[in-house]
Structure 1
Amino acid sequence: MPGWDGAVAIVIALALLLDFLLGEPRRAHPLVGFGRAAEVLERRFNSGNRRVLKGTACWLLLIVPVVLLVLYLDGRSARWGWPGYVDDVVLLYLAIGWRSMGQHVAPIEAALARPDTIDLPQARAALAMIVSRDTAAMDAPALLGATVETTLENSADALFASLFWYVVAGPAGVVAHRLANTLDAMWGYRSPRYHAFGRCAARMDDALNLLPAQLLALTFALVSPYPAKTWHCIFTQGWRWKSFNAGAVMASGAAALGVVLGGPACYRGQSVVRPPLGWGRAVAPGDLARVRRLVRRSLGAWLLVLAMPTLILIAAAMVAV
Structure 2
Amino acid sequence: MLTVTVLAVAVILAFLLDRLLGEPRRLHPLVGFGNLAMWLERRCNWWRGSESVGRLVLGGLAWLLLVVPLPLMIALVWFSGELSLLAEILLAVIALYLSIGWQSLREHGLSVVEAFSREGLEAAREQVSRIVSRDTDAMDESAVSRATIESMLENGSDAIFAPFFWFILAGPAGAVMYRLANTLDAMWGYRTERYAAFGFVSAKLDDLLNWAPARLTALSYALLGHTATALRCWKQQAADCASPNGGPVMCSGAGGLGIELGGGAYYHGQWQSRPTMGAGRAAVIRDINRSIQLVDKTVMLWIGSWLTVWIVIWVKGSVFL
> TM over 0.5: same fold?
yes
Cα deviation, 1:16-55, whole Å, max 9, x if unaligned, reads 1000111111111111111111011111122223211111
Percent of aligned pairs with the same residue? 44
Worse-matched range after superposition: 229-238 or 131-140? 131-140
Q: Given that residues 220 and 253 in structure 1 are in contact (C-alpha distance below 8 angstroms), is that contact kept between their aligned partners in structure 2?
A: yes
Q: Which residue of 2 aligns with 1:92?
A: 96
- Does the 8 Å CA contact 1:8/1:306 hold for their aligned counterparts? no
Normalised by the size of structure 1, how large is the TM-score? 0.91
Rounded Cα–Cα distance in structure 1 between residues aligned with 2:176 and 2:315: 35
Tell me: CA distance 1:254–1:183, structure 2 relative to 1, closer, same or farther (3 Å). same
1:15 touches 1:90 (CA, 8 Å); kept in 2? yes
Report what 1:234 is aligned to.
234
8 Å Cα contact 1:264/1:274 also seen in 2? yes
Contact 2:10 2:92 in 1 (8 A): yes
The structure-2 alpha-carbon separation of the partners of 1:178 and 1:313, relative to structure 1 and needing over 3 Å to count, comes to closer
For residue 165 of structure 1, what is the aligned residue in structure 2? 166
Cα 1:223–1:17 shift into 2, 3 Å:
same
**1:285-309 Cα distance to aligned partner (Å, 9 max, x none):** 1111111211122222212221114
Structure 2 gap ranges (5+): 49-53
In the other structure, the counterpart of 1:257 is 257
Deviations 1:221-243 (A, max 9, x none): 1122x211111111111233111
Preserved CA contact (<8 Å) 1:77 1:84: no
Shift of 1:97: 1.0
Give the corresponding residue for 1:67.
Answer: 71
Secondary structure of the equivalent of 1:271? strand
Cα distance between partner residues in 1 of 2:109 and 2:117: 12
Output the CA distance in 2 between the equivalents of 1:74 and 1:27: 27
Equivalent position of 2:57 in the other structure: 53
Distance 1:176 1:158 in 2: 13
Unaligned 5+ segments in structure 1 are none
**Mapping for residues 198-213 of structure 1, pairs under 5 Å:** 198-213=199-214
Residue identity matched to 1:235: K
1:30 counterpart = 2:63: no
Comparing 128-137 and 16-25, the one that deviates more: 128-137
Cα distance, 1:274 vs. partner? Answer: 1.0
Partner of 2:270: 270
1:199–1:309 Cα change, 3 Å? closer
Determine the C-alpha separation between the residues in 2 that align with 1:281 and 1:15: 37
Q: For residue 136 of structure 1, give the secondary structure of its aligned residue in structure 2.
A: coil
Is residue 2–residue 170 contact of structure 1 (8 Å, CA) maintained in 2?
A: no
Match of 1:141 in 2: 142
Aligned residues: 314
Amino acid at match of 1:31: L
* TM-score for the superposition, normalised by structure 2: 0.91
Alpha carbons of structure 1 residues 78 and 298: separation in structure 2 relative to 1, 3 Å: farther
The correspondence for 2:108, drawn from 86, 104, 110, is: 104
Go from structure 1 to structure 2 and tell me whether the alpha carbon gap of 1:76 and 1:142 turns closer, same or farther (over 3 Å shift). Answer: same
CA distance in 2, matches of 1:35, 1:315: 43
Q: What value does the CA root-mean-square deviation take over the aligned residues?
A: 2.3
